[in-house]
Amino acid sequence: MADDGDYKRDQNYITTRITADGRDGYPVEPGRYRLVIARACPWANRAAIVRRLLGLEEVLSMGIAGPVHDERSWTFDLDPGGKDPVLGIERLQEAFFKRDPGYPRGITVPAMVDIPTGQVVTNDFNQITIDMSGEWAEYHRAGAPALYPEHLRDEIDDVNAKVFADVNNGVYRCGFASTQEAYEAAYERLFARLDWLSDRLANQRYLVGDTITEADIRLFTTLARFDAVYHGHFKCNRQKLAEMPVLWAYARDLFQTPGFGDTIHFPQIKEHYYVVHRTVNPTGIVPVGPDESGWLTPHGREELGGKPFGDGTPPGPPLETERVPSLA
């Protein structure tokens, strides 16, 4: 936290990369790595979506931490015996300490773990999904979409930077501000950017080009949590998402697209934020609402044209062990 009350996210991550040529010592290999996520975390949710859309399930396994953690680490309390069945650890912290026994920073998801050594390779959420699109291309499913096409990368990067600063991280800057001034500044930036996004999406189905890209995935995971968490818990309350017609329709369009809504676990999302953030919600009471059935209502966005997967195809159903509760 800065002296002015503004929330400052620690963005120093382990930047080792898993690449096709293995230049950092970690070559892409089927079955070698485990992606660790938590359903509650928007940054990890991105990686789960990209993995689904690209069809990497059979070559990159996924461990799922529980929604509640303490100051030490995310834990695998959803698994039998409280241990990840592949890594054999109770806390993600153990994989970080195997890499660096004195690791001084927060233990974050998503994280890629090298199964043979049990060491975390990277927790650089920004690069993880980009590398899934590029470095793991040999193992993409037939019909996988181009989520980070070269001819659109500059525009995707520009949109991503704006969305990260003002929306993805902006909701946290509202929620964790420690002065009125810092909160109001973050609030104004957040809703100014949401208005900008509404204008951009009023006449085009997706953020960049006419298919789903990395930019849509990064915005979606924040929008999916907006009414359930950020509107009340983080005081982002000018409007609910459901009261912003363009963004609400856009978010529903994505939610109903295979690979998006089937990664969203609303009970775990709410449990994480309302239980873990005791400085914001001292009682730890988790709200019952809002009604989630609206996510399945018609959105009308197909009238704008575009094709979700371009010349590709939708992913198949989630693995049985990775299914989330249905809203239907």
pLDDT tens digits for 98-113? 999 999 999 999 999 9
Element at 221 (helix H, strand E): helix 214-225
Reply yes or no on whether 236 is catalytic. no
Residues in the chain predicted with pLDDT less than 50, given as ranges, are 1
Among the options 33, 41, 273, 274, which is catalytic? Answer: 41
Alpha-carbon distance of 87 to 95, in angstroms, equals 9
CATH entry 1.10.10.10 includes domain 157-322:
no
The confidence score (pLDDT) of residue 1 equals: 45
Is 174 one of the annotated active-site residues of the chain?
A: no
Cβ-Cβ contacts under 8 Å for 315 (sequence gap 6 or more):
52, 53, 55, 141, 258, 259
The catalytic residue among 13, 103, 139, 172 is 172
Residue with tokens 């959803």: 78
C-alpha distances in Å from residue 45, one per residue of 48, 114, 128, 162, 260: 5, 20, 12, 19, 9
Q: How many residues does the chain have?
A: 328
User: Could you give the residue range(s) of every CATH 1.20.1050.10 domain in the chain?
Assistant: 157-322
For the chain, give every residue range classified as CATH 3.40.30.10.
33-139
Q: What is the pLDDT of residue 8?
A: 86
pLDDT of residue 3: 66
CATH of segment(s) 33-139: 3.40.30.10
For the entire predicted model, the pTM comes to: 0.97
Which residue ranges make up the annotated binding site? 74
Beta strands 33-38 and 111-114 are: antiparallel
Which residues make up each annotated binding site for glutathione?
74
